[in-house]
């Protein structure tokens, strides 16, 4: 295979990233969350630092859009329409301050909020009401420009609203798709060139679609009562990983 297809990556690393796209999409589709941040962790070890978050955003857009398409009838469009204006505002605000913020502060803040949403008292009805998704859209889209994967934060918010596993996964995928579109627009405007990475992006998106298809077959076998518990523990493990990352940066 021509060397330019790998953009400086060895064939082994290229295939490793493609395989991880499949595995992480399968994980998110079947368990509700976790794949995005796992893929980000792998890419952070391989991809040039300045390209990690833009590349991750494009690949995750393909993965989430495919999952949303496969579960289209389960998407909560009322929440989507509330989230979208917030996502746009958050991306605009983030574009003005596209700088490196203290990672430890970001990681600890997100981890604390995830743990609160999973194990703390229910959010006030005002937060879960009409303007709740809009506020979450502003905050998480702003944060995703700097930390890359805010999926666990959004997942923790959605688990406060839904108890049906298909509704949760479908709406989560749709929300993340919109957020990644906003992120890509910002990075494109900032001059990040993704064209040399197109072969890898396409291969990872196709692989992610296969993983999503397999993961949704697994999801059908998980009862709602078990899904909620599994989702909680997946999010908790991701929060603990963020705390560990924060400690490592101090």
For the stretch 153-199, pLDDT in tens is 787 778 778 778 788 888 888 988 888 888 777 777 766 677 778 88
Range of weakest confidence among 26-40, 59-73, 205-219: 26-40
Sign, CA dihedral 99-65-12-244, equals positive
Average the pLDDT over 222-236 and give the result: 70
Alpha helices in 71-197, H assignment, sequence order: 77-96, 103-119, 125-128, 132-147, 151-158, 165-189
For the stretch 126-145, pLDDT in tens is 555 667 788 888 887 887 77
Question: Could you tell me what percent of the chain has a pLDDT over 70?
Answer: 76
Say what the pLDDT of residue 4 is: 45
Report the C-alpha gap between 75 and 73 in whole angstroms: 6
The domain locations on the chain are 8-249
Within 10 angstroms of residue 42's Cβ, the number of other Cβ atoms is 17
């Amino acid at each position: 295979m021509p060397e330019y297809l790998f953009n400086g990556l060895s064939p082994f690393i290229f295939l490793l990233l493609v395989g991880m796209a499949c595995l992480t999409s399968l994980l998110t589709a079947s368990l509700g969350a976790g794949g995005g941040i796992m893929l980000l962790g792998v890419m952070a070890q391989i991809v040039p630092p300045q390209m990690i978050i833009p590349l991750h955003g494009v690949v995750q857009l393909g993965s989430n859009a495919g999952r949303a398409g496969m579960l289209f009838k389960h998407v909560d469009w009322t929440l989507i329409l509330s989230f979208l204006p917030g996502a746009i505002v958050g991306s605009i605000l983030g574009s003005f301050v596209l700088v490196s913020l203290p990672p430890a502060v970001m990681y600890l803040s997100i981890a604390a909020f995830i743990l609160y949403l999973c194990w703390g008292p229910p959010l006030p009805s005002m937060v879960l009401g009409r303007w709740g998704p809009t506020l979450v859209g502003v905050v998480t889209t702003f944060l995703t420009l700097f930390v890359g994967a805010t999926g666990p934060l959004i997942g923790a918010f959605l688990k406060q609203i839904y108890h049906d596993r298909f509704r949760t996964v479908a709406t989560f995928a749709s929300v993340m798709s919109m957020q990644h579109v906003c992120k890509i627009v910002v990075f494109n405007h900032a001059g990040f060139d993704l064209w040399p990475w197109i072969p890898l992006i396409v291969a990872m998106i196709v692989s992610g679609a296969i993983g999503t298809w397999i993961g949704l077959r697994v999801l059908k076998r998980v009862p709602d009562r078990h899904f909620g518990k599994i989702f909680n523990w997946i999010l908790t493990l991701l929060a603990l990983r963020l705390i560990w990352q924060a400690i490592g940066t101090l």
